[in-house]
């Protein structure tokens, strides 16, 4: 994403490019803490107006770990984008936000997270500001402030991860891909009038 490259250059940060144009985002000294603007108001009346994000750890064979970073739209609980990596670092979060910015214009949207070091970095904060995204953060040590995406991660693990014995990283990634596709397109939710997230969005836009 060209704007992300420009921001990193303005902050005098170097980036290396992986395959598939992923970024290596360096750690930057100093943290930025924002207010809890979302304040547990999880109801959104328009798509992409209130988003939440977080990272969860996925354990598999011999206590190996992968990390899933996801962004959810509170309008319909849809997982708009996600990234899976072997390291829980700035790269994972920057790749996630870069991906969603390539797909959507998010001017004025609220993006809520916890106070993890990736979300308090100067680079992350600058990317959001440059794209006119309002950053919101949970209160310290309060997971309930980000309950919706925590709930999604819980369903992912209980309905998918814990039911399988994975032998490889590839198997885990394929399983997560399949579950998120199922979650977005098939798994109905009571709060969405017993529709799946994407169907609910389509139905609402056409009604």
Q: What pLDDT score does 24 carry?
A: 46
Q: What pLDDT score does 23 carry?
A: 46
Task: Specify the CATH number for the domain of residue 181.
Answer: 3.30.420.10
Torsion of CA 31, 36, 38, 42, to 10 degrees: 100
Question: Measuring CA to CA, which residue among 49, 54, 48 is closest to residue 154?
Answer: 54
Report the distance separating Cα 207 and Cα 191, nearest Å. Answer: 17
- Structural domain including 160 reads 2-206
Q: What pLDDT score does 123 carry?
A: 94
The residue that leads in pLDDT, 6 or 62, is 62
Q: Work out the burial of residue 50: count CB atoms within 10 Å of its CB; fewer than 13 is exposed, 13-18 middle, 19 or more buried.
A: buried
Q: What pLDDT score does 34 carry?
A: 95
Domain count, the chain: 1
166 SS3 class = coil
Q: What is the pLDDT of residues 98-143, one digit of tens each?
A: 999 998 889 999 999 999 999 999 999 999 999 999 999 999 989 8
Q: What is the pLDDT of residues 143-189, one digit of tens each?
A: 899 999 999 999 999 999 999 999 999 999 999 999 999 999 999 99
Report the distance separating Cα 60 and Cα 68, nearest Å. Answer: 13
**DSSP category for residue 11:** T
User: Are the beta carbons of 138 and 113 closer than 8 angstroms?
Assistant: yes
Question: Measuring CA to CA, which residue among 42, 59, 64, 60 is closest to residue 51?
Answer: 42
Question: Measuring CA to CA, which residue among 78, 65, 46 is closest to residue 197?
Answer: 78
Query: At CA 110, angle to CA 104 and CA 111, rounded to 5?
Result: 75
Q: What is the pLDDT of residues 24-68, one digit of tens each?
A: 444 445 689 999 999 999 999 999 999 999 999 999 999 999 999
Q: What pLDDT score does 19 carry?
A: 40
Q: What pLDDT score does 26 carry?
A: 46
User: Are the beta carbons of 116 and 88 closer than 8 angstroms?
Assistant: no
Q: What pLDDT score does 31 carry?
A: 85
Give the chain's mean pLDDT: 89
- The model's confidence at residue 86, banded by pLDDT at 50, 70 and 90, is very high
């Amino acid at each position: 994403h060209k704007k992300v490259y420009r921001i990193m250059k303005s902050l005098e940060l170097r980036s290396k490019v992986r395959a598939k144009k992923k970024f290596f985002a360096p750690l930057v000294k100093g943290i930025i803490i924002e207010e809890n603007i979302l304040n547990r108001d999880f109801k959104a009346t328009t798509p992409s107006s209130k988003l939440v994000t977080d990272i969860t750890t996925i354990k598999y064979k011999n206590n190996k770990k992968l990390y899933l970073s996801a962004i959810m739209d509170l309008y319909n609980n849809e997982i708009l984008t996600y990234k899976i990596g072997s390291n829980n670092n700035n790269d994972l979060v920057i790749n996630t936000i870069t991906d969603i910015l390539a797909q959507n214009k998010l001017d004025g949207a609220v993006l809520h997270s916890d106070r993890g070091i990736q979300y308090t970095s100067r680079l992350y904060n600058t990317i959001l500001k440059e794209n006119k995204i309002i950053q919101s953060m949970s209160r310290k040590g309060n997971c309930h402030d980000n309950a919706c995406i925590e709930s999604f991660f819980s369903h992912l693990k209980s309905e998918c991860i814990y039911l399988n014995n994975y032998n490889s990283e590839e198997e885990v990634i394929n399983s997560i891909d399949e579950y998120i596709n199922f979650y977005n397109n098939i798994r109905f939710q009571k709060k969405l009038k017993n529709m799946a997230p994407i169907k609910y969005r389509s139905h609402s836009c056409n009604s």
